Structure 1
Amino acid sequence: MAYTARLETALDRVANDDLSRSDLLTAFWRGFQPQLKSATEYTLTQMKARPQAKPIGETCPDCGADLVERQGSNGAFVGCSAYPKCSYTRNVEHKPLVLHPVED
């Protein structure tokens, strides 16, 4: 039986006084709590794995705080270290690669 059907059956039993609300919620929590714990641990792991912001040696033109390079869902960007107080951002300026001849 699918989850929704089982829940409907259990709710019908509560409505008919064959099952207490407390027992229904306790049963739900027993199944839900491990899933919640797992999701929380995964989220914390992802947050810890997120790269730290790197200072770039410039100040924010809006507020004067340090600018940092961050990784977002669309790649790297420069943002204000005072975020969320200041929301200044800009694209990362990529420096051209300069090749120098190697002397023998």
Structure 2
Amino acid sequence: SLTETDETGIRNEITAKEIFLAARSGDNLANEIIAEATKYLGTGLTSIVNLLSPERIIIGGGLANEWDSYISPAINLMRDQSYARIGYSVDIIPAALGPNAGALGAIVLASHTIQ
């Protein structure tokens, strides 16, 4: 449970992975957190689509592992909220490099900076 504490009564940092595991176990707080985060992601995607009208959005990072329970509902929200339904024409896909895309990009950037 997300509300469990250690012997001092303090809850240490909670990771996204723990939240999704708790949600799958039926934890109401975890499900509320995911629902709220989904709204924020959906709103962010809506802003990107309405402002830039991209052909494709690539989503990476660790949360992309939660495609069905987090990313997909946010995409559906974006499609419902976007102007003139332009959200339906946007191709949204997971990053080919998976959750390590950001770290690998940082390594490439650092290697170019050093050279």
| Higher helix fraction (1 or 2) | 2
Q: Rg: which structure is higher?
A: 1
Q: Decide which structure has greater strand share.
A: 1
- TM-score (normalizing by structure 1): 0.27
TM-score (norm 2): 0.26
